[in-house]
Structure 1
Amino acid sequence: MPHRPLARALAALVTLFIGILGAVAVPAAAQAAAPVHYVALGDSYSSGVGAGPYDWSGCLRSQKSYAPLWAAANDVDSFRFAACGGAVTADVINDQVSSLSSSTTMVTITIGGNDAGFADVITSCRFGSTSKCTDAVNESKAFATATLPGRLDRTYAAIRERAPNARLIVLGYPRLFETGWCGLLAMSSYKRTILNQAADVLATVISDRAAAAGATFADTRPTFAGHGVCADDPWIRDVSGVIEAYHPNSAGYRDGYLPALNAVTG
């Protein structure tokens, strides 16, 4: 009989201890079990142009792009691949955000390069004179700093409206070139240098507008460093790729883009 109060006290302490453990463990378990509904938006650098092979959508989507690679590695609950080669910001707003919903938990996007005239600038520099290249680069940089920010703001706002509960991750573009010796038929070091400088301007604009929208920016320039066109081990295709020219190859998406995304998703 005299031991009963002590036994009741010990039992109460055990119950309290179990309750505390449960209170800590349940949220952690719930967090671990949180569903991931992932939607990949954007242009050719998200659809996987350069990696191949492609689906029949007309958007040049490749399963070797960073988005499907990330989805497969993380065993997501659902994955929608809406990115489309050639897309500009208006295409994302008009054609791609319909893939989003209030249940979407993660969105990735690369966008803005085509708005800034990526293809025309590259063509001018690859096949035109130095002065023509310089003019094209300067025009693109002026557009990127004056006009592109508003387009990006509208695009990110449209994503937020359709997917209010999602984490938005904006991935940047890599510098395309190494600037050392690259053979007699290559673009000059000067042209490659100013094109890389234009990539830096674009990265700054995109990073700033992503931050303003409360999004996470994933910079791909560090992961691609040393693997541009003219590198010993290039992850960017040269002009010989035609449609795929100056886009990442499969190694670029796997070893350049995917690690940049992993770095911000944990």
Structure 2
Amino acid sequence: MSVRRIWASLSTLALAAVAALGVAGTAVAADSSSASAGGYVALGDSYSSGVGAGNYLPDSGDCRRSANAYPQLWAAANSPTSFAFVACSGATTSSVARGQLGALNAATSLVSVTAGGNDVGFAAVMQDCVLGSEATCLNSVNAAIAKMNNSLPGSLDSLYGSIRAGAPAAQVVVLGYPRFYQLSGSCVAGLTETERAAINDASDVLNGVLAKRAADAGFTFSSVVDEFTGHELCSGAPWLHSVTVPVQNSYHPTAAGQSGGYLPAFRSAV
């Protein structure tokens, strides 16, 4: 059996995990003191709830909200008047709209959100790339990119409009997703370099769509790509889990990725 197929067989552990994937500022940001003067609401998917960062809050259940996630860290450092941490693993734009926006109100002064990766099937992309051929992987990546360009913008517009309606005075920060791989890096098995490059390119497209829709909504977009540069998979010092146990952590930021990647990106936008 080839090295690739041995690794792929082990990678079946990741299937449950990737099902939870969701994967420059464009508006004037308020300073953190004014943001802290009102309520802060953290919306979104597993990249905001903190899957992979450990130390999950006892009442968060399958949403896996972590005490090490960037919303919790920011709130602890800035003491907003109120704090609602409602991000949840597996969330899509529509499930955020259905199940999380009740935390917003007229007194909300700051909102953060990650959403979009699950809408375009990034979990299925990673499954296809881990277990399938290179051609299967590239076809799956291209299908996800088509969704990013065609259906996702309307879904984001709907979500962002609902966020604005629920928190009319709030600064809203939309955070992006990291690139997964350092190319020409330290990985000696697993995906091909072509597959890794294609997955990174898809992340760039996704971030571009998020940035454009956020700008059109009057929200702030904050990329995390710079913060994660040098800490991708295959970097030798990753802030992202590869295939791991427990399986739900796979392809999610570690605690260091939350504190060293997402937190600075959010803080710079507020």
TM-score tier by shorter-chain length is 0.7 to 0.9
Q: How far off is 1:235 after superposition?
A: 0.2
2:39 matched residue in structure 1: 37
The Cα shift of 1:60 comes to 0.7
Q: What is residue 5 of structure 1 aligned with on the other side?
A: none
Q: Is 2:250 the partner of 1:248?
A: no
Distance 2:67 2:238 in 1: 20
Contact 1:42 1:92 in 2 (8 A): yes
1:225 correspondence with 2:229: yes
Which protein is bigger by CA-based radius of gyration? 1
Out of 212, 217, 232, which is 1:208 matched to?
212
**Alpha-carbon separation, structure 2, partners of 1:190 and 1:196:** 10
Of 70, 83, 86 in structure 2, the residue corresponding to residue 79 of structure 1 is: 83
Which has the larger displacement, 178-187 or 99-108?
178-187
Alignment partner, residue 94 of structure 1 = 98
Question: Unpaired runs of 5+ in structure 2?
Answer: 1-32
* Matches of 2:35 and 2:209, distance apart in 1: 36
Give the deviation of 1:43 after TM superposition: 0.2
1:172–1:219 contact (8 Å) kept in structure 2: yes
Confirm or deny: 8 A CA contact 1:181 1:189 kept in the other structure. no
SS in 1 for 2:113: strand
Match of 1:54 in 2: 56
Instruction: Quote the offset at 1:189 in angstroms.
Output: 1.1
Within 5 Å, give how 1:20-31 maps onto structure 2. Answer: none
Partner Cα separation in structure 1 for residue 36 and residue 87 of structure 2: 25
Q: Distance in 1 between matches of 2:34 and 2:147?
A: 43
Q: Which runs of 5 or more residues in structure 1 are unaligned?
A: 1-30
Task: Tell me, yes or no, if the aligned pair for 2:49 and 2:89 is still in contact at 8 Å.
Answer: yes
TM-score by length of 2: 0.84
Residues 224-264 of structure 1 show CA distances to partners (whole Å, capped at 9, x for unaligned) of 01111111110000012421111100000000001111111
- Amino acid of the structure 1 residue aligned with 2:86: A
Correspondence list, 1:177-216, <5 A = 177-216=181-220
TM-score relative to the length of structure 1: 0.86
Instruction: Report the Cα offset of residue 36 of structure 1.
Output: 2.6
Shift of 1:33: 9.8
Task: Using the TM superposition, give the Cα deviation of residue 34 of structure 1 relative to its aligned residue in structure 2, in angstroms.
Answer: 6.9
Measure the CA separation in 1 of the matches of 2:203 and 2:191: 16
1:105 maps to what in 2? 109
- Over 3 Å counting, the alpha-carbon distance change for 1:49 and 1:34 in structure 2 is closer
Q: Flag the structure with more relative contact order, 1 or 2, with Cα contacts below 8 A and sequence separation at least 6.
A: 2
After TM superposition, give the deviation of residue 127 of structure 1 in Å.
1.4
Alpha-carbon distance in structure 1 between the residues aligned to 2:76 and 2:220: 21
User: Secondary structure of the residue that 1:41 maps to in structure 2?
Assistant: strand
Question: Counterparts in 2 of 1:124-135, with a 5 A limit?
Answer: 124-135=128-139
CA deviations 1:25-84 (Å, max 9, x no partner) are: xxxxxx869723100000000000010121342201001000010111112111100100
Q: Name the Cα RMSD after superposition.
A: 1.4
CA distance in 2, matches of 1:147, 1:32: 36
The alignment partner of 1:149 has SS state of helix
Give SS of 2:244's match.
helix
Alignment-derived partner of residue 160 in structure 1: 164
What is residue 258 of structure 1 aligned with on the other side? 263
Answer yes or no: is the 8 Å Cα contact 2:104–2:166 preserved in 1.
Answer: yes
Aligned counterpart, 1:114: 118
Number of matched residues?
Answer: 235
Structure 1 pair 124/261, CA: closer, same or farther in 2 (3 Å)?
A: same
> In the alignment, residue 154 of structure 2 is paired with which amino acid?
G
AA partner of residue 167 (structure 1): Q
Contact 2:241 2:252 (8 Å CA) reproduced: yes
**More deviation, 223-232/173-182:** 173-182
